[in-house]
Amino acid sequence: MIASEFDRHRQEFPSLDDKVFFNFGGQGPLPRAALDAIVDAYDKIQREGPFGESVNAWLQEQSALTRQAIAAELGTSAAAIALTENVTAGCNIALWGTHWQAGDRVLLTDCEHPGIIAAVQEISARFGVAIDVCSVLDTLNDGDPVVTIARGLQDKTRMVVLSHLLWNTGQVLPLAAISALCRDRGVRVMVDAAQSVGSLPLDLDAIGADYYAFTGHKWLCGPAGVGGLFVRPEILSELSPTFIGWRGITIDRGGQPTGWQPDSRRYELATSAYPQYIGLSAAIATHNRWGTPAERYARICDLSEHLWERLSELGGLRCLRSRPPEAGLVSFQLESGKHARLVRSLENDGFFLRTIAHPDCVRACTHYLTREDEIDRLVEAIGKRL
C-alpha cells in the first residue's frame, strides 16, 4: 500500500492525529467507523423503541454478525465463540467452569497477568488445587518453552494456564506444540490471548488450544467492554456455565429453562451494551480494509524490528530480547531503573508507552498503524532522557 493510502487509512483513527501511540497492548485507539456505528446503534434503539420486538431481533442479528467477524479473525466457527466483556471474563469462565477436585494441579507460567494469577489462587484456596509455576521467562532468548512446560507437568496436572503472546516480554509461545503436548497428557490448555488477538494471524482450529480468551479493545482497536472466549467444540460438554442467564439457555413454550444453548453461547449471560458489539465489528472491518491478518502481522513485525534495532543502538538501556521481536511488543530496561519517570516524561510530550512490573521494564507496542518516523522520534526522545 502506497504512503498516501496508508495516511488516509490512519485518518480513520482520530486519536493518532496528535499522539505518538505505542500502547496498543493496553488499549487501541477507536476508529471513527466504530464510534459512528456505536452512536448510530444507540440512536436506532431509541428511535425504534428500547426492547421492542424489531429492535431486539436486530440486536440479536448484530450479535451473530459480531461472532462471525471475530471467528473469521481467529480461524474458527462462530459457534465456538462466546461474547464476553474482556479477556479476564473469558479466563474466569474457563477456570470456574472446570470441575476441580482436591489434589488437582494447575500449571502457570511465570509471565502471566496478575488478574489471572489471582483467579487461579482463589481456585486453589476454594478447591484444594495445587499451583505449579514454570519459568518461560528463562526461555526468552535461549531455551525451548515446550520442554519447560513438559517438565512442569505433574501426574495430576489438570490445566495449563498461559499466554500466547506474553504481555511483558513480547515472546510468542509455540502454542500448537504446547497444545499437542498437553492433549497427549490429557491436560487442558487455557490461553490468555489479550495480546495475540488482533496482532498474530490465527487459526484456532489448527492450533488446538482448549480455551482461548481475548478482548477487542487492544490490538483490534474496538470499544472497551467487548471480548470473547473460544471453547474447542469437542470439549463443550465438560465446561459448565458458572454465571447463568437467558442468553445461555433454551426455554420451552411456557418460558421455562430446558437446557443450554448448543454452542458457546451457553456462556453468555443477559442484556449487554449491544452497540459495543457493533462497534467491534466496525473496527475489525476497518482493519480488513487495509489488509489481511497475515499482512498486518508482517508489517507489525517489520516495525517492531525497526524499533528494536534503533533502541539497541542507544547506550543506557537494554532490550529484553537479544534478537528482533516475534510480534509488536518491544520491552526494554534502563540502566538507571527509572522506568516510571521515563514513561511519565514521554507522555508529557505525547508519546504513550507503559511500565511493566515483572520483569521491571518499559513496553512499547508497534501496530501496523505505526509509522517509521514515529519510531525514530520515540527513540530520539528516549535518547535525550538517558
Looking at residue 241, what is its pLDDT? 97
**Is 102 domain-assigned?**
yes
Instruction: Using DSSP, state whether 361 is helix, strand or coil.
Output: strand
Are 283 and 307 members of one domain?
A: no
**Is 209 domain-assigned?**
yes
Cβ atoms 129, 100 nearer than 8 A: yes
Which of 2-16, 238-252, 304-318 is predicted with the least confidence, judged by mean pLDDT? 2-16
Question: With bands split at pLDDT 50, 70 and 90, how would you rate the model's confidence at 4?
Answer: confident
Please say which residue of 245, 262, 287 terminates a domain: 287
**Is 282 domain-assigned?**
yes
Q: What CATH number is given to the structural domain containing 14?
A: 3.90.1150.10
Cβ atoms 173, 110 nearer than 8 A: no
Q: What CATH number is given to the structural domain containing 201?
A: 3.40.640.10
The cell for 243 is 454465571
Do the strands 157-163 and 130-134 form a parallel or antiparallel pair, or are they unpaired? unpaired
Can you tell me the distance from the alpha carbon of 307 to that of 68, in angstroms, rounded to the nearest whole number?
34
- Helix (H), strand (E), coil (C) string for 171-233: CECCHHHHHHHHHHHCCEEEEECCCCECCECCCHHHHCCCEEEEECCCCCCCCCCCEEEEECH
**Is 125 domain-assigned?**
yes
The cell for 277 is 458489539
pLDDT single digits (tens) 146-158? 999 999 999 999 9
Can you tell me the distance from the alpha carbon of 283 to that of 285, in angstroms, rounded to the nearest whole number?
5
Are 381 and 356 members of one domain?
A: yes
Q: What is the mean pLDDT of residues 34-48?
A: 97
pLDDT single digits (tens) 157-212? 999 999 999 999 999 999 999 999 999 999 999 999 999 999 999 999 999 999 99
Q: What is the mean pLDDT of residues 232-240?
A: 97
**Is 35 domain-assigned?**
no
**Is 310 domain-assigned?**
yes
- Computed over every residue of the chain, the mean pLDDT equals 97
Are 138 and 82 members of one domain?
A: yes
Q: What percent of the chain has pLDDT over 70?
A: 99
Are 123 and 235 members of one domain?
A: yes
Are 229 and 346 members of one domain?
A: no
Q: What share of the chain is helix, strand, coil (3-state, %, to 5)?
A: 45, 20, 35
Give residue 236's domain range: 40-287
Are 170 and 46 members of one domain?
A: yes
> Count of domains in the chain?
2
Are 167 and 303 members of one domain?
A: no
Cβ atoms 197, 175 nearer than 8 A: no
Please say which residue of 255, 270, 287 terminates a domain: 287
**Is 34 domain-assigned?**
no
Please say which residue of 287, 311, 332 terminates a domain: 287
Is residue 1 pLDDT above 60, yes or no?
A: no
Q: What percent of the chain has pLDDT over 90?
A: 98
Are 213 and 150 members of one domain?
A: yes
Report the half-sphere exposure of 185 (CA within 13 A, side-chain side). 21
Are 362 and 283 members of one domain?
A: no
Q: Which residues pair with 351 in a beta bridge?
A: 20
Helical H segments across 21-107, by residue range: 32-48, 53-74, 87-97
Can you tell me the distance from the alpha carbon of 318 to that of 109, in angstroms, rounded to the nearest whole number?
23
**Is 52 domain-assigned?**
yes
Question: With bands split at pLDDT 50, 70 and 90, how would you rate the model's confidence at 2?
Answer: low
Are 241 and 326 members of one domain?
A: no
Are 122 and 173 members of one domain?
A: yes
Looking at residue 3, what is its pLDDT? 63
Are 157 and 73 members of one domain?
A: yes
